[in-house]
Structure 1
């Protein structure tokens, strides 16, 4: 009898243990991993001399089209935004070393940059224009033969010129500057014969100095601007992309564009 009772007790206890183990296993199966939280702050890397996209006003405040766009996007994502001026020639290093979270400052989408940067869809089109002094005899790209031409180091203006090697070889010299403003100042003082420059900056700058410069009809091509992120930061990229799409749909992006350009040029 004692043996029978012991056997029954053993069976009951074994069943309880198995049931307990089964519940633990099922519980582990049904536990969903927590979704990654949206960061509370996004650090935007920019060239703070690139008007009207991102630059300093007379009070030394960072302002501009891209600054306003980034502020609006961050507000909709309930994120704090910090703008960090960087050496634009080292922008990919700054991004991938996590010193900044995004590059948002008239950043041109290129196949070469896509190797190291993930981009949003284009939000604006841009051209590489040629600016000369108002009294210049230069009327076409062919007239740049034997001339000293300047542009910003690390910019896509350099790439645009390189895409037309015959034209570049005809230059007397291609001078590279830390930023477009320096190149344009040298153009005004006759140290350069022409400057190749992003249209958004070039037209903004020349409009403030009427009669000083002329923009040629010919260009070095058209390109698209996008916001750049680290390749593994897909969640933040997707959230910003959706927010940009919403801003275009509800007219907020158009309003910001009209403030800075006098018309809606958002793509």
Structure 2
């Protein structure tokens, strides 16, 4: 009887140890989960996810280095906070997976807030934008009505694609709405005559037309208006607030205006307005 009792007591103690161990692991997991959404400390890396084919917001420069308005602002934020700036090019349709896995800290690359308000934790808008059509000057296309029966390119998973899909009355008149991987492909298609128009951000369109010195023009038709923001993983207010504060300080100091004037010849930012 004593022997049986000893065995039962031993088993009970072993089970208690196992359960205690399980409880400890749960607490650690909880801590680790919270740590994912902690603010950055000096010396930490800040990894920015961006589309490398989206000039002037983020792209590969002539020297082979990553550059662009958004990347330059992100770098200035890192310098202010003492963080190590790491630009990471991503496939645009993989941005959610990158955020979820922790491969990037944010999406910062002409990222439209409108229609995505509940999908991410956002900074305040820092720039206004709209979606437009770009055509060849000799195309004879002067209004959106002239796109009837025409082929139009749009980037996959872009705001322009969402806006056009919501405007069936217009897109049903197209000969074809063709989805491409990036706007560089769209401009090459337009240049070669493979398509009749490209739907895209006016900020990017104006920059591309100037840099390519191409015979393109922007139609006087607004597909949609929108605001750009920095997108963080849902719930990551700690990092968002840290970056937002730095952005506002850069705006107050005039640094944001200087970067904007470099890329757009004027200050088009909306921070602190």
TM range (shorter): 0.7 to 0.9
CA separation of 1:249/1:156 partners in 2, compared to 1, >3 Å: closer, same or farther?
Answer: same
Q: CA deviation at 1:208?
A: 2.1
Counterpart Cα distance in 2 of 1:195 and 1:37: 40
2:49 is equivalent to residue 45 of structure 1: yes
What does residue 160 of structure 1 align with?
Answer: 163
| Aligned match of 1:108 | 112
Corresponding residue number in structure 2 for 1:256: 259
Question: Take 1:59 and 1:208, find their aligned partners in 2: how far apart are those partners?
Answer: 16
Find the counterpart in structure 1 of residue 88 from structure 2. Answer: 84
Secondary structure at the residue paired with 2:162? helix
Whether the 8 Å CA contact 2:190–2:197 is kept in 1: the answer is yes
> For residues 110 and 264 of structure 1, what CA distance do their matches in structure 2 show?
22
Q: After the TM superposition, which residues 225-244 of structure 1 pair with which residues of structure 2 at under 5 Å, given as runs?
A: 225-244=228-247
Q: TM-score, normalised by structure 1?
A: 0.84
Return closer, same or farther for 1:214/1:102 CA change in 2, 3 Å cut-off. same
- Residue in structure 2 matched with residue 210 of structure 1 by the alignment: 213
Larger Rg: 1
- Unaligned residue ranges in structure 2 (runs of 5+): 1-37
1-side partners of 2:59 and 2:178: how far apart?
23
What per-residue deviation string (whole Å, max 9, x for no partner) do you get for residues 165-220 of structure 1? 10011111000111001011001111101110111111111112335111111121
Return the alpha-carbon distance in structure 2 between the equivalents of residues 37 and 151 of structure 1: 36
Q: Give the root-mean-square deviation of aligned CA atoms.
A: 1.2
Cα contact 2:150–2:196 (8 A) shared by 1: yes
Q: TM-score, normalised by structure 2?
A: 0.82
Give the aligned length: 231
- 1:125 aligns with 128
Question: Per the alignment, in what secondary structure is the counterpart of residue 172 of structure 2?
Answer: helix
Counterpart CA distance in 1 for 2:198 and 2:155 is 9
Q: The residue matched to 1:129 in structure 2 has which SS?
A: strand
Q: Distance in 1 between matches of 2:40 and 2:99?
A: 18
In 2, Cα distance between the equivalents of 1:203 and 1:154?
21
> Secondary structure in 2 aligned to 1:106?
coil
Task: Output the CA distance in 2 between the equivalents of 1:81 and 1:186.
Answer: 34
The 3 A distance-change label for structure 1 pair 37 and 245 is: closer
- Structure 1 unaligned residues grouped into runs of 5+: 1-35
